[in-house]
Each structure stands twice: as C-alpha cells, then as structure tokens.
C-alpha cells in the first residue's frame, strides 16, 4: 500500500501547496481521502483521475472539499469521451440537504458514510470512526494485506481514536494547534503533543503530523510530538510518500 500526501495545510494552501488530500494506492485500488484546495493540481503527478475508484470526504469544511467540484468536471468529460465507464463513488457524511448542493448526480454515486461495520473497496478494508470536530467528521482506517493506515481527519483529542489507531503502521494525525499561532481558536483540533500521545498509547509504528498551521513553529511541534510519542516524528512537509 502506497500513501501519497497531496496536501497538508489547514485552512488554505500555501503558494504551490494544497490543503487536505491523501492518495492510497494498492494493486487493485486508488482511493482519495479528502479533496481540498490544490489537490487536483497534485494528483496528476501520481495517477490518472480516470483510475480513481473512490473519494472519501471526512467532513464538509472547504479545506477538505474545495476541489470536489472541479474533480466532477473532469469525471464528466471522461464519461462523455468514454475514457471512464463508471460514475465516481463519493463517500461522505451527509447530514443535511445543504451537504448535497455540490454533488453532481450525473457523474457521482453518493454513498453516505456512518460509523458502522467495516466494508471493502476491492482489496482494501475500510473502517470509520466519528471524531470530535465542529461538524460531523470521520477518521478512516484502511487495512491491506495486514498493513494498517489510519487518518485522523480533523478532531480534538478523543480517547476513542487511541483504540481505532491501535498498531497502525502509519498514523497521519492532525496537529493544527501550535504555540503563538493565530491559525485557529483550537476548537475541534489537537496540538502536536496530543497527536504524539495518541500515537504512543495506540502503539503505532510511524506518526506523520498534518493539517499544519501556516504560522506554526514546526521544529517545536516535532519536539512536542516526539516527547509524547517517544520516537521520531515527521511532518507532512518533510515526506510526501509512504510504502507499507
């Protein structure tokens, strides 16, 4: 299983960067987790859009969904020219009619996600956990050939996430709050020390900090996470692809 970090910024992209987006590739599947601002400018470096099996949206904040509309423009063209045969499977936590506004039913098959039993997309087992954000939001666990990848999405510290992330080979966890940063009020988010604590108590193998604040002290954030985790920690600025 390969995981490409396409975007890692919280709120809005840096110059040439992107907000939340993570491409998961196996021998049978290509799944995009979140589709934030700038993600489509990055995904073409890794794969063809026509090969995407599914898109998961953890929640409906713009920094996780901004490029979904233009992604559907691409899919519409691919369907029209027969370069793609099936609609895009779009998994999302629909909680109101407002959430449906940007879904183009001509090109997307909408599948509402809830915290329930695991299911599969081809060769990947998918599990979901509702986390503690300002709106309905889900963490995602993907298991492939015994390897586990967990993405926290946006969340405040949540004890349930420890069990959910247990023994993950890779844990990509949000760390939005940084000392002296003005990026967020902190509501619905964690700092790096809390991300490190979850990683330690969940006995994960590798921790990557993401959803980064533009004015964050990344060296300090790494140190805070490492003090909690007890192992080296990466930020999404440093490493963009992982092989599990």
Determine the 3-state secondary structure of 164 from DSSP. Answer: helix
Interval 196-208: pLDDT, tens? 999 999 999 999 9
Query: Cα separation of 233 and 222, whole Å?
Result: 6
Determine the 3-state secondary structure of 4 from DSSP. Answer: strand
CB atoms near residue 195 (< 10 Å): 32
Interval 147-199: pLDDT, tens? 999 999 999 999 999 999 999 999 999 999 998 888 887 899 999 999 999 99
* Domains of the chain: residue spans and CATH: 2-239 (3.60.15.10)
Q: Please tell me the predicted confidence (pLDDT) of residue 238.
A: 65
Tokens of 105: 């039913």
Interval 121-157: pLDDT, tens? 999 999 999 999 999 999 999 999 999 999 999 999 9
Q: Please tell me the predicted confidence (pLDDT) of residue 186.
A: 81
CB atoms near residue 27 (< 10 Å): 9
Tokens of 69: 């509309």
Interval 32-58: pLDDT, tens? 999 999 999 999 889 999 999 999 999
Tokens of 132: 């503690």
Question: Are residues 224 and 33 in contact, defined by beta-carbon separation less than 8 angstroms?
Answer: no
Q: Please tell me the predicted confidence (pLDDT) of residue 107.
A: 94
């Amino acid at each position: 299983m390969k995981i490409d970090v396409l975007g890692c910024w919280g709120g809005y992209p840096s110059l040439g960067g992107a907000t939340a987006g993570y491409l998961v590739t196996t021998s049978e599947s290509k799944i995009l987790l979140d589709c934030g601002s700038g993600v489509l400018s990055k995904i073409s470096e890794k794969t063809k859009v026509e090969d995407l099996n599914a898109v998961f949206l953890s929640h409906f904040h713009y920094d996780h969904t901004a490029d979904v509309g233009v992604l559907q423009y691409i899919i519409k063209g691919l369907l029209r020219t027969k370069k793609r045969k099936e609609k895009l499977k779009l998994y999302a936590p629909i909680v109101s009619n407002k959430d449906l506004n940007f879904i183009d039913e001509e090109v997307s098959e909408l599948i509402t996600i809830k915290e329930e039993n695991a299911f599969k997309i081809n060769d990947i087992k998918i599990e979901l956990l509702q986390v503690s954000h300002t709106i309905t939001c889900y963490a995602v666990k993907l298991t492939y050939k015994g390897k586990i990848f967990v993405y926290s999405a946006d969340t405040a510290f949540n004890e349930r996430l420890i069990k959910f992330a247990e023994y993950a080979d890779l844990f990509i966890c949000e760390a939005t709050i940084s000392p002296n940063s003005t990026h967020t009020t902190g509501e619905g988010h964690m700092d790096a020390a809390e991300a490190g604590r979850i990683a330690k108590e969940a006995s994960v193998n590798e921790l990557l900090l993401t959803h980064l604040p533009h004015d964050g002290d990344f060296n300090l954030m790494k140190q805070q996470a490492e003090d909690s985790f007890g192992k080296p920690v990466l930020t999404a600025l440093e490493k963009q692809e992982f092989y599990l």
